[in-house]
Chains A and B, each alone.
Chain A
Amino acid sequence: MAEVSLHKLNKKFDTTHVVKDVDLKIRDKEFMVFVGPSGCGKTTTLRMIAGLEAITSGEIRIDDTVVNEIPPMDRDIAMVFQNYALYPHMSVAGNMAFGLKMRKFEKAEIEKRINNAASILGIEGLLQRKPRQLSGGQRQRVALGRAIVRDPKVFLFDEPLSNLDAKLRVQMRVELKKLHERLAVTSVYVTHDQVEAMTLGDRVVVMKDGWVQQVGEPLELYNTPANRFVAGFIGSPAMNFADVTLVENGGSPVAEAPGLRIGLPGELATRARAKTGRKATLGIRPEDIHIATAADAPEHCFDADVEVVEQLGSEILLDMRVGAALMVASVEPTLRVRAHDKLKLALKPGRLHLFDAETEAAI
């Protein structure tokens, strides 16, 4: 049982305010991912939970204990660092035993836990090696093993996969997910990679400039982003944006930009009506754009000049100019299309997003 709650958490380094009023409840056994661009305050938040950074104001609780003043050694947490931070002068077994020795565990118990963790991670054969004799992936496993043997209340991960090559990263991502299912320990994971965030997180916190932008399950962030930043950050390739003006056309609201005129459907229309005459940002994901067919209503179609064709095998990415805006569409791999072609495209009206031009909040 371990819940972590952050209440009005703030951190200032001299004059820079890096974490601003973070309020969050991480549930028991939950895998919570903090994601955001570098400098958004996610790592600082994690380090405050670990007790490695002092808190400027606010409160952190683990279960019902306020831990603000409790040193890291007494918080019963384990942390996996980006550079693994393996103790270079100790063997793999020594690295894993260190935390238990510090806590005065019996020798037999230490051995049992090390063997157990090693078999979970498949590093039984490496126990006598020194960290410098290990590959990146093996070091990563040892760092995980060192956290597992402690059997802590909370796991903290600080970008643990970012030093691995792309292939290994995907593999370790899957293993981390399995590991969490097996151990079921509350985990807080920091990453700048939105794919990791989407695939690993039970819930995801998106941060920017020290502010929490949105907290929610991965699909919730993907389908109903709270603002333009979240919309652009989650999803790859990123969501397309076009600056539009909201106008009324024969009773129904329309988003209008040079070369683009899109009728707004159902509920979105109702919300947009209140903002008629105002500027807004229209958002549409690349996968929600397709080649127009007879079934598409004319108000959901637009013309595009293809500038670059990126053939990925499983799909084709079209980089195109639509009026003043640059957009990317993901289309069927069977489509025959070349650069400088002119296409008629359509979008799925139900998948449109609209953001206020000033506040950037979703409309």
Chain B
Amino acid sequence: MIEGALWRRWIFYNIPLILFVFVLLFPFYWMIVTTFRPDGELYRPWNAVNYMPFWTNNPTLEHILYLFEETRFARWMFNTMFIALVSTVISLFCGVLAGYALARLNFPYAGGLGTAIFITYLVPQTLLFIPLAEIIRNFRLGDSPWALILTYPTFLIPFCTWLMMGYFKAIPKELEECARIDGASRWKAMVYIIIPVAVPGILSSGIIAFTLSWNEFIYALVFLSSPEQKTVPVGVTSELIRGDVFFWGPLMAGALLGSIPVAIVYSFFVEHYVSGLTGSVKG
């Protein structure tokens, strides 16, 4: 909190905060308003007398109904959920084990290996999808959820590994040493002591990995082709933008419904999530 006169607090604290919140939340507001606005209002020219961009007096569910009746939206939601969940679980499992090994086992070249894993995370997806497409074709995985479930870990595992490595390093090594003196093997010490203590870190990387795969676009666009296999981001953009015609109402409804599961997941774990990112382990 900024100390001092009222005008100082407004200039340096309140006004910047309001601007920041406005910039962050306005797109969501726009999305919601557009979802419930009838087409007649949406395509009204800006200089019309009754032009009213920020509010509607005739809310409608027609866009949401359109989404479920005229497109495979429910199917896309299920696809996205399934792919995101399975690839997150795979990546978390590998990331936790790899992160633990890199942080705790002093094997030769551990540092170099850690850096190498990080570098793979830096390879842009827009480059990587070309060789991956070849692999997907060779294994005949194209146009199936497994094409994504097996390719998402290419960027999720390095990500989880690095996040978990940092988190494991922040856990005092005496905890583990004490467990080992108490009669636990290294494996038991990891399972009974280190992993339970690292739960906030595991949840954070799980949430971020889930969001990354939920929102992923380019692999989903390249590896999936039939409408019933698509994920929400690809389905909405490929089926609701036809040529140069944007179906704004259903588009925004799709975006709104697509962001709800992520928002629920976040709000559910928000406390763990914050303490995971700030890495606080209290003894």
Contact = CB atoms under 8 A, between A and B. Distances in A.
A129 to B, nearest CB: 13
Contact of B177 (A72, A99, A139): A72
Interface stretch (B148-156, B190-198, B203-211, B238-246): B190-198
A99 B182 contact: yes
Given A85-B283, A86-B283, A98 B182 contact: yes
Most buried by A among B174, B181, B183, B283: B181
Contacts of B181: 50-52, 72-73, 75, 77-79, 99
Most buried by B among A51, A78, A82, A102: A102
Contacts of A82: 174
A85 B177 contact: yes
Nearest to A75: B181
A253 interface: no
B180 interface: yes
B282 interface: yes
Interface string A64-81: 000000011101011101
B170 to A, nearest CB: 12
Contacts of A89: 196-197, 199
A131 B185 contact: no
B281 A102 contact: no
Interface in B173-226: 174-175, 177-185, 188, 192-193, 196-197, 199
A131 B180 contact: no
A85 B172 CA distance: 8
B272 to A, nearest CB: 13
A88 interface: yes
A132 B181 CA distance: 22
A146 interface: yes
A52 B186 CA distance: 12
A167 interface: no
B283 A98 contact: no
Contacts of B182: 73, 78, 98-99, 102, 146, 150
Contacts of A182: none
A150 B179 CA distance: 12
A52 B104 CA distance: 13
Contact of B180 (A71, A86, A103, A139): A71
B183 A73 contact: yes
Given A72-B177, A98-B179, A83 B184 contact: no
Contacts, number: 73
Contacts of A86: 283
A103 B183 contact: yes
A211 interface: no
A38 B181 CA distance: 24
Interface string A145-171: 010001000000000000000000000
Contacts of A71: 180, 185
Contacts of B180: 52, 71-73
A85 B188 contact: no
Nearest to A99: B182
Contacts of A102: 179, 182-184, 188
Interface residues of A, number: 28
Contacts of B199: 89
A87 B175 contact: yes
B174 A85 contact: yes
Nearest to A77: B181
A52 B281 CA distance: 22
Contacts of B197: 87-89
Given A79-B178, A81-B178, A85-B175, A99 B183 contact: yes
A274 to B, nearest CB: 51
Nearest to A96: B182
Nearest to B185: A73
Contacts of A146: 178, 182
A84 interface: yes
B274 to A, nearest CB: 17
B174 to A, nearest CB: 4
Contacts of A139: 283
A87 B172 contact: no
Most buried by A among B174, B175, B182, B197: B182
Contact of B172 (A75, A83, A98): A83
Most buried by B among A75, A77, A87: A87
Contacts of A84: 283
A79 B179 CA distance: 10
A318 B276 CA distance: 55
Nearest to A98: B182
A88 B184 contact: no
30 contacts: A50-B181, A52-B181, A72-B177, A73-B180, A73-B184, A78-B181, A78-B182, A79-B177, A79-B178, A79-B181, A81-B177, A83-B172, A83-B174, A84-B283, A85-B172, A87-B179, A88-B197, A88-B281, A98-B182, A98-B184, A98-B192, A99-B182, A99-B183, A102-B182, A102-B184, A131-B283, A132-B282, A132-B283, A139-B283, A150-B182
Given A79-B181, A85-B172, A102-B179, 6 more contacts: A73-B181, A73-B183, A87-B178, A88-B282, A89-B199, A99-B181
Interface of A: 50-52, 71-73, 75, 77-79, 81-89, 98-99, 102-103, 131-132, 139, 146, 150
The 6 closest A-B pairs by CB, nearest first: A99-B182, A102-B183, A85-B174, A85-B178, A81-B174, A89-B196
